[in-house]
Structure 1
Amino acid sequence: MNRRYFEQKKGRVEIIPMIDIMLFLLVFFIMITLQMIPDKGLNLQLPTSSEAQSLPRPHFTINIQKDGSVNVKDHHYDLDGLEKMLASDGDPGKTQITIAADKGVPFQDFIHVMDRCQKAGVSDIGIAAKSS
Protein backbone atom coordinates (compact mmCIF):
# COMPACT_ATOMS: atom_id res chain seq x y z
CA MET A 1 0.00 0.00 0.00
CA ASN A 2 1.34 3.38 -0.95
CA ARG A 3 1.34 5.90 1.77
CA ARG A 4 1.15 9.48 0.88
CA TYR A 5 2.86 11.92 3.05
CA PHE A 6 1.56 15.39 3.08
CA GLU A 7 4.26 17.92 2.78
CA GLN A 8 3.64 20.86 4.92
CA LYS A 9 4.53 24.03 3.12
CA LYS A 10 6.17 26.59 5.22
CA GLY A 11 4.61 30.03 5.18
CA ARG A 12 6.62 32.72 3.45
CA VAL A 13 6.56 36.41 3.86
CA GLU A 14 6.50 38.02 0.45
CA ILE A 15 9.00 40.85 0.76
CA ILE A 16 8.69 42.43 -2.71
CA PRO A 17 5.15 43.86 -2.23
CA MET A 18 6.16 45.11 1.20
CA ILE A 19 9.16 46.94 -0.31
CA ASP A 20 6.87 48.48 -2.96
CA ILE A 21 4.50 49.79 -0.31
CA MET A 22 7.34 51.14 1.83
CA LEU A 23 8.84 53.00 -1.14
CA PHE A 24 5.43 54.46 -1.98
CA LEU A 25 5.02 55.66 1.61
CA LEU A 26 8.54 57.11 1.59
CA VAL A 27 7.84 59.11 -1.59
CA PHE A 28 4.48 60.25 -0.19
CA PHE A 29 6.00 61.56 3.05
CA ILE A 30 8.89 63.24 1.22
CA MET A 31 6.42 65.10 -1.02
CA ILE A 32 4.32 66.19 1.97
CA THR A 33 7.41 67.34 3.87
CA LEU A 34 8.67 69.39 0.92
CA GLN A 35 5.36 71.23 0.76
CA MET A 36 5.64 72.11 4.46
CA ILE A 37 8.96 73.90 4.01
CA PRO A 38 8.22 77.61 3.58
CA ASP A 39 9.84 79.62 0.82
CA LYS A 40 11.86 82.00 3.01
CA GLY A 41 13.19 84.11 0.19
CA LEU A 42 15.91 86.64 0.83
CA ASN A 43 16.65 88.96 3.71
CA LEU A 44 15.17 92.17 2.31
CA GLN A 45 14.37 95.43 4.06
CA LEU A 46 10.79 95.81 2.87
CA PRO A 47 9.11 99.20 2.78
CA THR A 48 6.57 99.75 5.56
CA SER A 49 2.88 100.48 5.16
CA SER A 50 0.17 101.20 7.69
CA GLU A 51 -2.39 99.45 5.46
CA ALA A 52 -0.44 96.23 4.77
CA GLN A 53 -2.60 93.09 4.84
CA SER A 54 -1.71 89.43 4.90
CA LEU A 55 -2.37 87.80 1.55
CA PRO A 56 -2.73 84.13 0.72
CA ARG A 57 0.56 82.46 -0.09
CA PRO A 58 1.57 83.41 -3.64
CA HIS A 59 2.58 80.97 -6.34
CA PHE A 60 5.87 82.85 -6.86
CA THR A 61 7.67 85.45 -4.76
CA ILE A 62 9.96 87.61 -6.88
CA ASN A 63 12.75 89.18 -4.80
CA ILE A 64 14.51 92.28 -6.11
CA GLN A 65 17.75 93.12 -4.31
CA LYS A 66 19.46 96.51 -3.98
CA ASP A 67 21.81 95.76 -6.87
CA GLY A 68 18.81 95.07 -9.15
CA SER A 69 19.23 91.29 -9.29
CA VAL A 70 16.02 89.24 -9.48
CA ASN A 71 15.62 85.95 -7.60
CA VAL A 72 12.73 83.48 -7.62
CA LYS A 73 12.92 80.37 -5.40
CA ASP A 74 16.73 80.60 -5.05
CA HIS A 75 17.25 80.94 -8.82
CA HIS A 76 18.75 84.10 -10.32
CA TYR A 77 17.01 85.45 -13.44
CA ASP A 78 17.53 88.35 -15.78
CA LEU A 79 14.38 90.10 -17.02
CA ASP A 80 14.11 87.99 -20.19
CA GLY A 81 14.58 84.76 -18.23
CA LEU A 82 11.96 85.86 -15.70
CA GLU A 83 9.44 86.50 -18.46
CA LYS A 84 10.13 83.11 -20.08
CA MET A 85 9.86 81.30 -16.74
CA LEU A 86 6.51 82.92 -15.94
CA ALA A 87 5.14 82.35 -19.46
CA SER A 88 6.04 78.65 -19.30
CA ASP A 89 4.20 78.13 -16.00
CA GLY A 90 1.15 76.56 -17.61
CA ASP A 91 -1.62 79.15 -17.32
CA PRO A 92 0.04 82.51 -16.53
CA GLY A 93 -3.39 84.13 -16.15
CA LYS A 94 -3.94 82.12 -12.95
CA THR A 95 -0.40 82.54 -11.61
CA GLN A 96 -0.13 84.59 -8.42
CA ILE A 97 2.95 86.77 -8.02
CA THR A 98 4.21 88.79 -5.06
CA ILE A 99 7.04 91.22 -5.72
CA ALA A 100 9.29 91.86 -2.72
CA ALA A 101 11.68 94.71 -3.44
CA ASP A 102 14.30 96.02 -1.03
CA LYS A 103 13.89 99.61 0.21
CA GLY A 104 16.94 100.68 -1.76
CA VAL A 105 15.74 99.32 -5.12
CA PRO A 106 15.18 102.06 -7.70
CA PHE A 107 11.52 102.32 -8.60
CA GLN A 108 12.38 101.86 -12.28
CA ASP A 109 13.76 98.35 -11.56
CA PHE A 110 10.50 97.51 -9.79
CA ILE A 111 8.50 98.74 -12.80
CA HIS A 112 10.66 96.68 -15.19
CA VAL A 113 9.93 93.50 -13.21
CA MET A 114 6.22 94.29 -13.03
CA ASP A 115 6.17 95.01 -16.77
CA ARG A 116 7.81 91.65 -17.56
CA CYS A 117 5.25 89.87 -15.38
CA GLN A 118 2.43 91.51 -17.32
CA LYS A 119 4.07 90.68 -20.66
CA ALA A 120 4.21 87.02 -19.57
CA GLY A 121 0.44 87.12 -19.02
CA VAL A 122 0.37 87.35 -15.22
CA SER A 123 -2.44 89.57 -13.98
CA ASP A 124 -2.51 88.73 -10.24
CA ILE A 125 0.46 90.74 -8.93
CA GLY A 126 0.92 91.71 -5.29
CA ILE A 127 3.48 93.96 -3.62
CA ALA A 128 5.18 92.89 -0.39
CA ALA A 129 5.39 95.44 2.41
CA LYS A 130 6.07 95.23 6.13
CA SER A 131 3.25 96.47 8.35
CA SER A 132 4.26 99.32 10.63
Structure 2
Amino acid sequence: MRNHRSHYLGAEEKARIEIIPMIDIMMFLLVFFMLATLKMIQGAGIKLDLPQSSTAEQLQKTVKVSIGVTKTGELYMDAKPIDANTLSARLKGLVQGNSNVDVAIAGDEGVDYKKIIGVMDVVRAAGISSVALVTNPAT
Protein backbone atom coordinates (compact mmCIF):
# COMPACT_ATOMS: atom_id res chain seq x y z
CA MET A 1 0.00 0.00 0.00
CA ARG A 2 1.26 3.40 -0.93
CA ASN A 3 1.52 6.18 1.53
CA HIS A 4 -0.53 9.07 0.19
CA ARG A 5 0.88 11.37 2.78
CA SER A 6 4.42 11.32 1.31
CA HIS A 7 3.03 12.70 -1.90
CA TYR A 8 1.98 15.89 -0.13
CA LEU A 9 5.17 16.37 1.86
CA GLY A 10 7.36 16.99 -1.19
CA ALA A 11 4.89 19.25 -2.99
CA GLU A 12 6.04 22.82 -3.66
CA GLU A 13 3.99 25.80 -2.64
CA LYS A 14 2.84 28.34 -5.20
CA ALA A 15 5.18 31.30 -5.62
CA ARG A 16 3.96 34.51 -3.98
CA ILE A 17 4.93 38.10 -4.76
CA GLU A 18 5.49 40.10 -1.61
CA ILE A 19 4.32 43.67 -2.21
CA ILE A 20 5.41 45.29 1.07
CA PRO A 21 9.19 44.90 0.55
CA MET A 22 8.81 46.24 -2.98
CA ILE A 23 6.96 49.31 -1.66
CA ASP A 24 9.73 49.85 0.89
CA ILE A 25 12.38 49.76 -1.83
CA MET A 26 10.40 52.15 -4.05
CA MET A 27 10.01 54.63 -1.17
CA PHE A 28 13.74 54.39 -0.45
CA LEU A 29 14.55 55.12 -4.12
CA LEU A 30 12.12 58.04 -4.18
CA VAL A 31 13.69 59.64 -1.09
CA PHE A 32 17.20 58.97 -2.41
CA PHE A 33 16.54 60.68 -5.75
CA MET A 34 14.76 63.61 -4.08
CA LEU A 35 17.74 64.23 -1.81
CA ALA A 36 20.20 63.79 -4.68
CA THR A 37 18.25 66.32 -6.74
CA LEU A 38 18.22 68.84 -3.90
CA LYS A 39 22.00 68.55 -3.58
CA MET A 40 22.41 69.36 -7.27
CA ILE A 41 20.55 72.67 -7.00
CA GLN A 42 22.89 75.59 -6.33
CA GLY A 43 22.49 77.06 -2.86
CA ALA A 44 21.84 80.66 -3.84
CA GLY A 45 22.14 83.10 -0.97
CA ILE A 46 23.88 80.62 1.32
CA LYS A 47 27.37 81.50 2.56
CA LEU A 48 29.64 78.55 1.84
CA ASP A 49 33.34 77.99 2.42
CA LEU A 50 34.30 75.97 -0.63
CA PRO A 51 37.37 73.75 -0.64
CA GLN A 52 40.28 74.65 -2.90
CA SER A 53 41.56 72.62 -5.82
CA SER A 54 44.83 72.88 -7.74
CA THR A 55 43.13 71.77 -10.98
CA ALA A 56 40.06 74.03 -10.79
CA GLU A 57 39.03 75.92 -13.92
CA GLN A 58 37.11 79.17 -14.19
CA LEU A 59 33.71 78.83 -15.85
CA GLN A 60 33.38 81.14 -18.80
CA LYS A 61 30.47 83.52 -18.73
CA THR A 62 28.59 84.52 -21.83
CA VAL A 63 28.56 88.27 -22.45
CA LYS A 64 25.60 89.55 -24.42
CA VAL A 65 26.06 92.79 -26.36
CA SER A 66 23.37 94.72 -28.18
CA ILE A 67 24.34 97.01 -31.08
CA GLY A 68 21.82 99.39 -32.60
CA VAL A 69 22.08 101.02 -36.04
CA THR A 70 19.85 103.97 -36.94
CA LYS A 71 18.77 105.13 -40.41
CA THR A 72 21.42 107.83 -40.31
CA GLY A 73 24.16 105.30 -39.53
CA GLU A 74 24.62 106.15 -35.85
CA LEU A 75 25.77 103.24 -33.69
CA TYR A 76 24.62 102.40 -30.18
CA MET A 77 26.19 99.77 -27.93
CA ASP A 78 23.89 98.75 -25.10
CA ALA A 79 21.78 101.91 -25.67
CA LYS A 80 24.80 104.27 -25.50
CA PRO A 81 26.10 106.18 -28.56
CA ILE A 82 29.42 104.89 -29.88
CA ASP A 83 31.54 105.27 -33.02
CA ALA A 84 32.90 102.39 -35.11
CA ASN A 85 36.51 102.62 -33.82
CA THR A 86 35.45 102.66 -30.16
CA LEU A 87 32.99 99.82 -30.84
CA SER A 88 35.79 97.72 -32.33
CA ALA A 89 38.09 98.41 -29.37
CA ARG A 90 35.37 97.59 -26.81
CA LEU A 91 34.42 94.36 -28.57
CA LYS A 92 38.08 93.26 -28.73
CA GLY A 93 38.37 93.99 -25.00
CA LEU A 94 35.32 91.83 -24.30
CA VAL A 95 36.73 88.98 -26.38
CA GLN A 96 40.07 89.11 -24.53
CA GLY A 97 38.36 89.02 -21.13
CA ASN A 98 35.88 86.33 -22.15
CA SER A 99 35.74 84.11 -25.21
CA ASN A 100 31.92 83.71 -25.17
CA VAL A 101 30.48 86.95 -26.53
CA ASP A 102 27.07 87.02 -28.22
CA VAL A 103 26.23 90.09 -30.30
CA ALA A 104 22.73 91.11 -31.38
CA ILE A 105 22.51 93.75 -34.11
CA ALA A 106 19.28 95.73 -34.22
CA GLY A 107 18.90 97.80 -37.37
CA ASP A 108 16.30 100.47 -37.91
CA GLU A 109 13.66 99.46 -40.46
CA GLY A 110 14.93 101.85 -43.14
CA VAL A 111 18.66 101.37 -42.56
CA ASP A 112 20.86 100.51 -45.56
CA TYR A 113 21.92 96.90 -45.84
CA LYS A 114 25.48 98.13 -46.40
CA LYS A 115 25.55 99.71 -42.91
CA ILE A 116 24.43 96.47 -41.26
CA ILE A 117 27.15 94.55 -43.15
CA GLY A 118 29.69 97.16 -42.02
CA VAL A 119 28.72 96.60 -38.37
CA MET A 120 28.90 92.81 -38.87
CA ASP A 121 32.41 93.24 -40.31
CA VAL A 122 33.47 95.22 -37.22
CA VAL A 123 32.04 92.52 -34.96
CA ARG A 124 33.72 89.67 -36.85
CA ALA A 125 37.03 91.56 -37.02
CA ALA A 126 36.94 91.65 -33.20
CA GLY A 127 36.88 87.84 -33.22
CA ILE A 128 33.19 87.30 -32.47
CA SER A 129 31.39 84.67 -34.53
CA SER A 130 28.10 84.61 -32.63
CA VAL A 131 26.08 87.37 -34.35
CA ALA A 132 22.29 87.66 -34.56
CA LEU A 133 20.00 90.16 -36.25
CA VAL A 134 17.11 91.42 -34.13
CA THR A 135 13.62 91.59 -35.67
CA ASN A 136 10.05 91.92 -34.51
CA PRO A 137 7.89 88.82 -34.87
CA ALA A 138 5.38 88.93 -37.72
CA THR A 139 1.77 89.31 -36.65
TM-score of the aligned structures, taking structure 2 as reference length: 0.51
Question: How far, CA to CA, are the matches of 2:74 and 2:128 in structure 1?
Answer: 20
Residue 84 of structure 2 corresponds to 79
Please, which runs of 5 or more residues in structure 1 have no aligned partner?
A: 1-56
Residue 114 of structure 2 corresponds to 108
Question: How far, CA to CA, are the matches of 1:79 and 1:115 in structure 2?
Answer: 11
Please, which runs of 5 or more residues in structure 2 have no aligned partner?
A: 1-61
> Are 1:128 and 2:134 counterparts?
yes
Question: Alpha-carbon deviation of 1:73?
Answer: 1.9
- Given residue 99 of structure 1, which amino acid in structure 2 is its aligned partner? I
- The answer to which structure, 1 or 2, has the higher relative contact order (CA under 8 A, 6+ apart) is 1
Give the aligned length: 77
Q: Is the partner of 1:88 in helix, strand or coil?
A: helix
> Where do 1:1-132 residues align within 5 Å?
59-89=64-94, 90-91=96-97, 93-132=99-138
- CA separation of 1:125 and 1:79: change in aligned 2, threshold 3 A: same
TM-score of the aligned structures, taking structure 1 as reference length: 0.53
Q: Is the partner of 2:114 in helix, strand or coil?
A: helix
CA contact (8 A) 1:63 1:72 kept: yes
Residue 20 of structure 1 corresponds to none
CA contact (8 A) 2:67 2:105 kept: yes
- Given residue 64 of structure 2, which amino acid in structure 1 is its aligned partner? H
Cα RMSD of the aligned pairs, angstroms, is 2.1
Question: How far, CA to CA, are the matches of 1:91 and 1:119 in structure 2?
Answer: 16
Question: How far, CA to CA, are the matches of 1:66 and 1:93 in structure 2?
Answer: 31
Q: Is the partner of 1:103 in helix, strand or coil?
A: coil
Question: Alpha-carbon deviation of 1:74?
Answer: 2.8
Question: How far, CA to CA, are the matches of 2:85 and 2:102 in structure 1?
Answer: 19
Aligned-residue identity in percent: 24
Question: How far, CA to CA, are the matches of 1:64 and 1:79 in structure 2?
Answer: 11
Question: Alpha-carbon deviation of 1:91?
Answer: 4.4
Question: Alpha-carbon deviation of 1:58?
Answer: 6.8
- CA separation of 1:130 and 1:74: change in aligned 2, threshold 3 A: closer
Q: Is the partner of 1:112 in helix, strand or coil?
A: helix
Question: Alpha-carbon deviation of 1:60?
Answer: 0.6
CA radius of gyration, larger in: 2
